[in-house]
């Protein structure tokens, strides 16, 4: 859809809100509210080789206002200006979990909610973890929890793990790397 015009309604720390006039495939045009986001990276950190029968990964139990409480997530965060998705994944892994990875492997890239935002999250798998230095932001309240893969899948099946980027990244690994 061609962008005919855009009006910035709000500029924030995390997102900007635009009112776009776009041309639709049938030749008509209309206005759409769009949250603009710089993008993010998320990483599934494996403590054990992913091919082990029941490898352990690190999950974050993080307070999220929008979810009205704590939710399970993989380490993730916003791309800084000019930062590559891989560098962001490495930085967020260390800041949130206190671990560095010997190896980051790209999984895929997803749109979070393309009906109203251009946010894309780049998903990675991390192996060869070693101690690093945590550096959380003031509004990040979280606990790092090592869990066996079987428990992570149980959390998904039961609905206790409902974060989209975490679901996609874990299921991507399960479907295409653990059982190709």
Q: Is the pLDDT of residue 172 over 70?
A: yes
pLDDT score, position 1? 65
Compute the mean pLDDT over every residue in the chain, rounded to the nearest whole number: 95
H or E stretch including 20?
A: strand 16-23
Residue 180 has pLDDT above 60, yes or no: no
Residues 6+ apart with CB under 8 A from 41: 76, 77, 79, 85, 86, 88, 89, 92, 121, 122, 123, 124
76-83 long-range Cβ contacts below 8 angstroms, 24+ apart: 76/40, 76/41, 76/42, 76/43, 76/121, 76/165, 77/40, 77/41, 78/14, 78/37, 78/38, 78/39, 78/40, 79/38, 79/39, 79/40, 79/41, 80/38, 81/38
Give the pLDDT mean for 72-99.
97
Quick one: pLDDT at residue 178?
Answer: 79
State pLDDT tens for residues 23-32.
999 999 999 9
Tens-digit pLDDT profile for residues 107-131: 999 999 999 999 999 999 999 999 9
Mean pLDDT of the 93-102 span: 96
Is 60 exceeded by the pLDDT of residue 143? yes
**What's the predicted TM-score (pTM) here?**
0.93
Q: Which positions are catalytic?
A: 140
pLDDT tens by residue, 79-89: 999 999 999 99
pLDDT at 140: 79
């Amino acid at each position: 859809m061609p962008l005919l015009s855009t009006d910035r309604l709000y500029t924030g720390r995390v997102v900007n809100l635009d009112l776009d006039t776009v041309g639709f495939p049938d030749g008509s045009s209309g206005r759409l509210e769009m949250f603009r986001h710089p993008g993010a990276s998320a990483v599934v950190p494996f403590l054990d080789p992913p091919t082990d029968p029941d490898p352990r990964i690190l999950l974050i139990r993080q307070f999220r206002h929008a979810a009205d409480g704590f939710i399970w997530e993989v380490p993730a965060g916003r791309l800084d200006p000019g930062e590559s998705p891989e560098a962001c994944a490495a930085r967020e892994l260390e800041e949130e979990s206190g671990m560095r990875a010997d190896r980051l492997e790209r999984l895929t890239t997803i749109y979070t909610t393309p009906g109203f935002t251009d946010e894309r999250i780049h998903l990675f798998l991390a192996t060869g973890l070693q101690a690093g230095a945590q550096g959380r932001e003031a509004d990040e309240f979280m606990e790092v929890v090592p869990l066996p893969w079987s428990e992570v899948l149980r959390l998904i099946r039961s609905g206790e793990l409902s974060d989209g980027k975490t679901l996609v990244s874990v299921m991507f690994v399960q479907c295409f790397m653990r059982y190709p």
